[in-house]
């Protein structure tokens, strides 16, 4: 143990949704790096579990060792999902997010770059994302595109929920290095139309169109 105080502050714990915390950005950054290092190892654990060929007795010993570690993590837990948190400087963090959460080993994680009109991300998908043999599960492709297209729609300044997501699986998406892109096609009132794609070295494997909707009462955020 490092002797650091627990995170987040006791008063900030809430269930789901947006949670305001008074944690300084430097402390959020520090804790995020600590959690990301744990998450990276858990991600390794997932891959190693899928691909292991150790014998049954060794599997049972490893299971018992892991159960003890789970019990240690359970000694201090949020009462529900991690939600989205933000501080007075509007530094936000959603460490449980299924696609980019720093504390979620299921997340590849996707690191989205925002250029002027295009969001893009490079990611390497391993054995944990397999659907057909050697290929990315179609639901995983949809999940990743939903996220990057949602980020494109929100431009990190407004809330935009997925209304409709249409996928075209042009050919199998191989596990390994992939490139994702998303951009806004047009806007009509609260509706934001977005196009997205996943590509390997040979070009697009999946293309998607999405309609993202700004919920009533949320800030419009201003022009792009």
Give me the residues that bind ligand 3IX (CB under 6 A), please. Answer: 146-147, 150-151, 154, 156-159, 161-164, 189-191, 211, 213, 215-216, 219, 221
Tell the smallest beta-carbon distance from residue 92 to ligand 3IX (Å).
7
In the numeric block, the tokens 């996943």 are attached to 198
* Residue with Cβ nearer ligand 3IX (3 or 222): 222
* Residue with Cβ nearer ligand 3IX (37 or 92): 92
Rounded Cα distance between 161 and 153, Å, is 9
Tell the smallest beta-carbon distance from residue 109 to ligand 3IX (Å).
13
* Residue with Cβ nearer ligand 3IX (158 or 179): 158
* Residue with Cβ nearer ligand 3IX (62 or 120): 120
Rounded Cα distance between 34 and 10, Å, is 19
Q: Where are the alpha helices (DSSP H) in 116-200?
A: 138-154
Rounded Cα distance between 39 and 30, Å, is 14
Tell the smallest beta-carbon distance from residue 171 to ligand 3IX (Å).
25
Rounded Cα distance between 173 and 198, Å, is 8
Tell the smallest beta-carbon distance from residue 23 to ligand 3IX (Å).
18
What is the sign, positive or negative, of the torsion defined by CA atoms of 55, 60, 65, 71? positive
Tell the smallest beta-carbon distance from residue 52 to ligand 3IX (Å).
33
Q: Which residue is nearest to ligand 3IX (CB)?
A: 150
Rounded Cα distance between 144 and 177, Å, is 14
* Residue with Cβ nearer ligand 3IX (62 or 142): 142
Pull the structure tokens for residue 3. 């002797």
């Amino acid at each position: 143990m490092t002797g650091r105080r627990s995170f987040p502050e006791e008063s900030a714990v809430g269930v789901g949704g947006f949670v305001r915390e008074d944690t300084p950005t430097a402390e959020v950054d520090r804790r995020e790096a600590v959690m990301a290092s744990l998450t990276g190892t858990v991600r390794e654990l997932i891959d190693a579990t899928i691909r292991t060929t150790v014998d049954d007795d060794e599997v049972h010993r490893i299971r018992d060792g892991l159960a003890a570690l789970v019990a240690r993590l359970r000694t201090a837990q949020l009462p529900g999902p991690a939600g989205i948190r933000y501080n007075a400087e509007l530094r936000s963090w959603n460490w449980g997010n299924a696609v980019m959460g720093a504390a979620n080993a299921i997340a590849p994680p996707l690191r989205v770059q925002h250029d002027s009109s295009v969001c893009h991300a490079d990611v390497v998908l391993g054995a944990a994302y397999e659907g057909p043999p050697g290929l990315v599960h179609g639901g995983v492709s949809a999940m990743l595109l939903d996220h990057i297209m949602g980020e494109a729609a929100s431009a990190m300044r407004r809330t935009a929920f997925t209304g409709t997501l249409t996928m075209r699986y042009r050919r199998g998406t191989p596990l390994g290095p992939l490139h994702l892109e998303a951009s806004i096609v047009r806007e009509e009132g609260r509706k934001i139309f977005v196009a997205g794609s996943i590509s390997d070295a040979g070009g697009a494997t999946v293309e998607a169109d999405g309609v993202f909707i700004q919920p009533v009462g949320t800030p419009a955020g201003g022009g792009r």
